[in-house]
Structure 1
């Protein structure tokens, strides 16, 4: 779990460094052509932020998976028991975990499921939207570079 927090923190530090690069584009002496550089730096920022959020969720799922069947009082998974009422815990049969999308679902004996942690929803949406934004910024940067090259050829 400590390694997961370290990786997430490392990605967050990378996002902060990229943010400084984006902010530096507002200062005099910025590199030219500045729109392409701004999009590339913003792509690094959103990509690092997406990696930070996803790695945090990844290691949360991994930690929940490792707690299962690991010593006394570990079945059903502690993530499915902690914070839930006794009636819900009594009917647990097993769990399902997934790393893409992030989730750790607890399965009851009647087949219904519930999420062990509602924060996986925002982690999935945030990392997906940031990754999509990074991809669009990379595509936009390439398009702007191509457009500038065509304009210079004329």
Structure 2
């Protein structure tokens, strides 16, 4: 229980600390070269935020899967039955999950499938967008550092 709330909290805290570092670049006394530092801090913030979003979904999927077969009235998955009308749940046979991309699907006897939670869609897209942003910002920081080094080498 502690793990499924602790990891996202640590990632969110890392994103918050990185966000403070990004905001600190607006004040006097910032480190030089400031564009490189700003890009690196923004990349760290985006990476921590991606980790927070993904780990929220990761532990939600694992929690839903671990609840299957854990006591009375736990099969098929509770996540597939709660919050749905009787017609949707009728004929429910089993569930399956995936951690990449995040999803917890409910399977009926006829082979049709429905998602247990639509929040997995925004978690997948959010984590992907934040991870790509982190990579692009890290590459931009490397390019800015190299450009500054070449500029320093050319000017006497």
TM-score range, shorter-chain basis?
Answer: over 0.9
TM-score of the pair, normalised by structure 1 = 0.97
Q: Deviations over 1:40-77 (max 9, x none)?
A: 00001000000001001000000000000111101100
Q: Specify the alignment match of 2:119 in structure 1.
A: 119
Q: Distance in 2 between matches of 1:87 and 1:74?
A: 19
3-state SS of paired residue (2:117): coil
Alignment pair present for 1:47 and 2:47: yes
Q: Deviations over 1:76-119 (max 9, x none)?
A: 00000011112222211111100010000111112111110000
3-state SS of paired residue (1:74): coil
Q: Specify the alignment match of 1:129 in structure 2.
A: 129
TM-score of the pair, normalised by structure 2 = 0.96
Q: Specify the alignment match of 2:89 in structure 1.
A: 89
Q: Distance in 1 between matches of 2:131 and 2:125?
A: 10
Count of residue correspondences: 154
Q: Deviations over 1:5-36 (max 9, x none)?
A: 11101110111100000000000000000000
Q: Which runs of 5+ in 2 are unaligned?
A: none
3-state SS of paired residue (1:76): coil
Q: Specify the alignment match of 1:70 in structure 2.
A: 70
Note the aligned Cα RMSD (angstroms): 0.8
Q: Which runs of 5+ in 1 are unaligned?
A: none
3-state SS of paired residue (2:83): coil
